[in-house]
Amino acid sequence: MSARQGSTARWAACIAAGLLLALLPLAAGASVVDKLTGLFILMLLAAMWGLMAGQAGLVSVGQQAFFGLGAYVALRLVDGGLPAYPALLAGALGAVGVAWVLSVFLLRLKDGEFAIATWVVAEVIRILVMLDPLVQGETGTSLIALNAVEPVLRRNIGYWFALGALAAMLLAVWWLLRSPVGTATRALGDDDEAAAALGVRVMPTRRAIYLLGAFGCALAGVAWLASAITFLPRTNFGVQWSVLMLFMVLVGGLRSMAGPLVGALLLFGLQEIVGHLGAWYLAGLGGVAAACALWLPQGLVGLWQQRQARTATERPSLPSPPTPRRTTP
């Protein structure tokens, strides 16, 4: 099979899988739909953090700011009279507007300074949101407008919203990484000073990645709100979201598109199997992440790619047939 045929087959498989997933709520039960909605949200968060940290070298521990901001802006828009579902998308776009303002200051920082600053900014935003009378502090609030929607339809729409957001953002990341911006992004992730010396526009490239990552996390936040309905600042702005992003990307693989998705699947499986163990479950996640950081820095996908490359190198090549000798009469 040629490379072009293989690419066509992969696209066909992705489209078929997407159609099957889109039709799944028509046949599956409520529990399956809810669990898959949560999985799509985890995958979306992992893909965005993988883009930022794995490709551009922007290690953020404050992406929960946009997860919560998207939901908060949506709540504010609904309170102002906008219908609920358009408000969800508008809320994600509003979070991107805040991210653009923050990028002016945050992207001037590097490495640990950037990571700490993103966490501090996320905490400041959480506190400011809690001061809004609509949110009622730690009590939180609910997207009451969604209660008017029939429960099964509401659950299915939340599922389709999360699936559509995941598909759209994965396609955007795939396209971006194959564009000149993607080449510049990888150069910045390897060595930003060397990339700048070669003519890479550092700040615009970083801002594009930062805004795309913020938009994806905000979409995940509004998808969570559409599914849970309730909005609790300590939950929606909780640092646990960034911790889960780091775990999924670190375990799955930092430098590939598939790595974060594999990490999300692994985390989802662990939640379903041992999530009821509470503190032991969290300790197990920490142990797995530490083990991967020490002995498997490329993640599971990186390990599989290395083995595939080693197998291809060690595979013996077939001897070429002998060239027939020409004889003269």
- Dump pLDDT digits (tens) for 9-28: 888 888 999 999 999 998 88
Q: With 0-12 CB in 10 A as exposed, 13-18 as middle and 19+ as buried, what is 308? A: exposed
Calculated CA dihedral for residues 194, 196, 200, 202, nearest 10 degrees: 120
Task: Report the b/e string of 190-209 with b at 16+ CB within 10 A.
Answer: eebeebeeeebeeeebbbbb
Using DSSP's 3-state secondary structure scheme, residue 309 falls into helix
Q: Find the helix or strand (DSSP H, E) in which 313 lies.
A: helix 299-314
The CA-atom distances, in angstroms, between 153 and each of 41, 141, 147 are 19, 22, 11
Q: Compute the average pLDDT of residues 111-119.
A: 91
Calculated CA dihedral for residues 154, 268, 96, 239, nearest 10 degrees: 120
Q: For residue 271, is pLDDT > 60?
A: yes
Neighbours of 57 (CB within 10 A): 20
Using DSSP's 3-state secondary structure scheme, residue 81 falls into coil
Per the CB < 8 A criterion, the answer to whether 155 and 228 are in contact is: no
Q: For residue 142, is pLDDT > 70?
A: yes
Strand partners, 141: 231
End-to-end Cα distance, the chain: 43
State residue 315's pLDDT score: 65
pLDDT-based confidence at residue 323 (cuts at 50, 70, 90): low
* pTM, to two decimals: 0.90
State residue 276's pLDDT score: 81
State residue 89's pLDDT score: 94
State residue 83's pLDDT score: 92
Any idea which of 37-46, 70-79, 123-132, 137-146 has the lowest mean pLDDT? 137-146
Q: For residue 317, is pLDDT > 80?
A: no
| 129 contact partners, CB below 8 Å, separation of at least 6 | 68, 69, 72, 135, 233, 237
Return the half-sphere exposure (C-beta side, CA atoms, 13 A cut-off) of residue 57: 21
Query: What's the pLDDT tens digit per position in 276-293?
Result: 887 788 788 888 888 887
CA angle (24, 25, 31) in 5-degree steps: 110
State residue 65's pLDDT score: 95
Return the half-sphere exposure (C-beta side, CA atoms, 13 A cut-off) of residue 304: 11
Q: For residue 79, is pLDDT > 50?
A: yes
- Beta strand residue intervals within 17-94, DSSP E: none
State residue 329's pLDDT score: 47
Percent of the chain predicted with pLDDT > 70:
94
Higher-pLDDT residue of 241, 193: 241
Q: Compute the average pLDDT of residues 263-268.
A: 92
Q: For residue 302, is pLDDT > 90?
A: no
Query: What's the pLDDT tens digit per position in 194-243?
Result: 888 878 888 999 999 999 999 999 999 999 999 999 999 999 999 889 98
Q: What is the mean pLDDT of the chain?
A: 88
> What span, in angstroms and rounded, lies between the C-alpha atoms of 245 and 294?
18
Any idea which of 61-70, 88-97, 179-188, 227-236 has the lowest mean pLDDT? 179-188
pLDDT-based confidence at residue 2 (cuts at 50, 70, 90): low
> What span, in angstroms and rounded, lies between the C-alpha atoms of 149 and 78?
15
Q: Compute the average pLDDT of residues 186-201.
A: 83
Interaxial angle between packed helices 64-79 and 84-106, expressed in degrees from 0 to 180 and rounded to the nearest 10: 140
Higher-pLDDT residue of 7, 106: 106
pLDDT-based confidence at residue 100 (cuts at 50, 70, 90): very high
CA angle (123, 124, 128) in 5-degree steps: 115
State residue 85's pLDDT score: 92
pLDDT-based confidence at residue 103 (cuts at 50, 70, 90): very high
State residue 307's pLDDT score: 83
State residue 1's pLDDT score: 54
pLDDT-based confidence at residue 172 (cuts at 50, 70, 90): very high
Q: Compute the average pLDDT of residues 161-185.
A: 92
